[in-house]
Amino acid sequence: MTNTDQPVVSRPWIILLLLCLPVFIGSLDLTIVSAILPEVINQLRLPLDTKLDDASWMVSGYLLAYTISMTFMGRISDMVGRRWVYVVCLVVFVFGSWFVSIAHTWPTDWYLRVYRWIYPNPDTHIPPSQEMRELYMIIMGRTIQAFGAGAIVPVTMAIVSDIFPANRRARPLGLVGAIDTSGWVLGHLYGGAMVKFFGVAGNDIVAFFDQFGINIGYPDWRTLFLLNIPFSLIALGVALYALRGPAFKNTYRRAPGLLSRLIHLFPLIRPVFVFLRPPSRNEEGAQASEASSSSIRFDYLGAALITLALSGLSIALGSLSPESAFGGGTVSFDELASAGNGNDTSFVVPLLIASAISFVAFIYWELHTRYPLIDLRLFLKRNYSSAGFTNLCVGFTLAIGLVSVPLVINLRADSSAQEAFQDAALVAGLVLSGLTVPMALAAFPGGWLSDRFGYRNVTVTGMGLAMAGFILCSLTWTADISPWIMGGEMIVIGIGLGLTMSPVATALINEVREGERGVSAALVLILRLVGMTLAISGMTSYALYRVEQRISALGSFDNISARQDAYIDVTVAQVNELFLIGAGVSLLALLVALRLQGGRVHPDTATAARVRRKEHRSGRPLDITTPAEAHR
């Protein structure tokens, strides 16, 4: 498809919105457990002091599998085609959601049977309790979910590059990225609101279905995972119907004989075939067609190295601040410095070192292998490196808002009342929606503006708005600030970050060949996710460390009330410092974004594209003479 061709499918926007349903649901599930984790622990009767670390793997396991799947499934979609990779990943996500909802039934019994088969002697190996077996099955289901959900996002972005021409990808790509990022942030609010709704209206829901003779049982946190299924099945039907034709077929050459026919008859096994089949002779000697050959071979070692690097980074940084991400405790910088002295965080530093070694080895391997998972030489291109770094900064600054808002909101919560903390979580979610909803809404006009003014102008404007919003917050936030004012100032930051999503994603994807769009789409999200992970972990730990440091510097207090007042003042001052850090990172991203080039659609090209789309819909040829051609 050329730059000025019409879309390869009819009604591409409707198809895209339906395909984005699983994107949003999967990203919601990334953080939804942070809201329902206390109820899960209470319902399973887990001892809080010893089992919170196990329960937190409901979130950290999802995040880990989500990141790993996102890393290489984009490449697999380049190799075997978008349609079936999307369908298989969606089926995996639906199965994982269903598995979580029924984890307390036969999967728990199945786990016990397998355990007794492996360890037949009960005297030497005591099986886990019923509650712990159920928890392990929930974690397994969450991991299955994440492998499907993480792959759906880059594949959907790659589908955008298939169904939209290059000069019309900015808006849809920005929309997909904004929907995915919004789900990360709204998951906590959604989970808390739905659990509260089930508690209030649960009996009415049961009575409503009883009228039709349907016994659904009392709704609880498991119901949230069942709600994923109908929406995902709608997207599954859309994918099977709409993603047809040569644009969505695989690019590898079929193996001869029976194996080729089996793959043709059972396309669901294509992803498995890519991993198992040996390279053909034609592939061995395909020097002349690097684009084709690079899409045929899968980089196993590269995938393993980047998986180790991202896994180590996610687990280590997640251990630094599980409170902000998972609802657990927090490890300070002093505790990190004492790692290795016998405390619970002794694994963090070795894990970070192993992650760094894996990342360096990944870079070396990708620069020297013939079939790289990610062609790192692309970062030598001006647009690719600039857009990638800007996207990393967008994730970092977005996470600063996620860290700061709960810190200030929780200052006003009565520590003696559990309901006060629940209300504080709801208020924090509403204030954060002032950041994420405008961000998602601004992504669409951001793409429209980048078509007319180019990548650089829109990205610089967006980061400038974000910087102004952070500076405004640093000057006005106090302990008694109104949530309405907080939300209003978050809107400024959200609009700024939203404007940047379309141009940076489009700049990254349009710099690569057709056979590498899936990888590039995955890279867009990985960079943003890494930026968020670094900020959530690093900035939360840094903020808590600085608060304790400032409190210690104030000396002793006459009473508890005086210490609480000092703690509030110091915390607000530290939040304002975080906002200044956010402004500084936004300024750095703005300066890097000045290097971006291109993206602007020439008026003549835009006119010709509109005429071609009308011609395609009407079925008859139209006059496609552009103003420039008429002048000549």
Using 50, 70 and 90 to split pLDDT, how confident is the model at 491? Answer: very high
Q: Note whether 40 and 221 are within 8 A (CB).
A: yes
Least confident of 129-133, 367-371, 605-609: 605-609
CB-CB neighbours of 244 under 10 Å: 12
DSSP assignment letter at 623: -
Across the range 119-138, mean pLDDT stands at 85
Helix (H) or strand (E) holding 459: helix 418-476
pLDDT at res. 245: 61
List pLDDT tens digits, range 48-57: 544 555 666 7
Residues 6+ apart with CB under 8 A from 508: 383, 384, 387, 388, 391, 520, 523, 524
Tokens 């005429």 correspond to 611
Amino acid sitting at position 361: A
Answer whether residue 214 shows pLDDT above 90. no
Q: Contact, 411 vs 568, CB < 8 A?
A: yes
15: nearest Cα among 200, 240, 333: 240
What DSSP string describes 579-593? HHHHHHHHHHHHHHH
Look-up of token digits 């992504």: 443
Q: How far apart are CA 401 and CA 481, in angstroms?
A: 16
Task: State both tokens at 265.
Answer: 């008859």
* 87-118 residue pLDDT tens: 899 999 999 999 999 998 989 989 889 988 98
Q: Is residue 464 within 8 Å of residue 470, measured between CB atoms?
A: no
CA-CA distance, 281 to 298, in Å (whole number)? 16
What is the 8-class DSSP label of residue 378? G
Rg (alpha carbons) of the chain, rounded to whole number? 26
Let me know: does 290 contact 284? Beta carbons within 8 Å. no
**Number of C-alpha atoms within 13 angstroms, CB side, residue 495?**
11
Segments of 245-294 assigned E as strands: none
Confidence of residue 258 (pLDDT cuts 50, 70, 90): very low
Three-point CA angle 462, 468, 469, nearest 5°:
90
How many beta carbons lie within 10 A of that of residue 549, not counting itself? 14
Query: What is the mean pLDDT of the segment spanning 262-290?
Result: 43
Q: Report residue 223 as tokens.
A: 């119901």
pLDDT tens per residue, range 22-43 = 888 888 887 787 667 767 877 7
Specify the range with the lowest mean pLDDT, choosing from 111-120, 286-295, 473-482: 286-295
Give the C-alpha distances (Å, rounded to integers) separating 191 from 62, 196, 220, 228, 417. Answer: 16, 9, 11, 13, 20
Q: Give SS3 for 4.
A: coil
Q: Are domains 10-187+220-275 and 374-601 of this chain identical in fold?
A: yes
Q: Answer whether 154's CB lies under 8 Å from 77's CB.
A: yes
pLDDT for residue 458: 92
Please give the pLDDT value at position 619.
56
- The rounded distance, in Å, linking the Cα atoms of 105 and 99 is 10
pLDDT reported for residue 589: 95
**Which has the closest alpha carbon to 305: 354, 368, 271?**
354
- The pLDDT assigned to 26 comes to 86
CA–CA separation, 517 and 163 (whole Å):
12
pLDDT, mean of residues 505-534: 78
Q: What is the distance between the alpha carbons of residues 46 and 229, in angstroms, rounded to a whole number?
A: 28
Rounded distance between C-alpha atoms, residue 517 and residue 505, angstroms: 11
Question: What CA–CA distance (Å, rounded) separates 570 from 527?
Answer: 32
Looking only at Cα atoms, what is the longest distance across the chain? 92
pLDDT band with cut points at 50, 70 and 90 for residue 274: very low
Q: Which of 593, 386, 599, 579 is nearest to 492 (CA)?
A: 579
Q: Which CATH class is domain 10-187+220-275?
A: mainly alpha
Burial class (CB in 10 A: 0-12, 13-18, 19+), 27: buried
pTM for this entry? 0.70
In degrees, rounded to 5, the angle at the alpha carbon of residue 504 between the alpha carbons of residues 499 and 506 is: 105
Q: Considering only the top CATH level, what class is 374-601?
A: mainly alpha
Question: What integer pLDDT is reported at residue 599 of this predicted model?
Answer: 65
For tokens 């100032």, name the residue.
489
475: tokens are 């000057």
Q: Are 328 and 56 in contact (CB under 8 A)?
A: yes
* Confidence grade of residue 123 (pLDDT, cut at 50, 70, 90): confident
Of 267 and 480, more confident: 480
Residue 343 binned pLDDT confidence (cut-offs 50, 70, 90): very low
What ranges do the domains of the chain cover? 10-187+220-275, 374-601, 603-632
Query: How high is the pLDDT of residue 630?
Result: 44
CB burial readout 109-132, b (16+ within 10 A) else e: eebeeebeeeeeeeeeeeeeeebb
Three-state helix/strand/coil letters over 258-279: HHHHHHHHCHHHHHHHHHHCCC
Query: In sequence order, which residues have a C-beta less than 8 Å from that of residue 264 and are 6 or more positions away?
Result: 254
Residue type, 320: L
* Residue from 519, 275, 94 nearest 263 by CA: 275
* DSSP reduced 3-state for 298: coil
- Highest average pLDDT, of 142-156, 523-537, 589-603, comes from 142-156
Position 609, amino acid: A
Pairwise pLDDT comparison (174 vs 154), residue with the higher score: 154
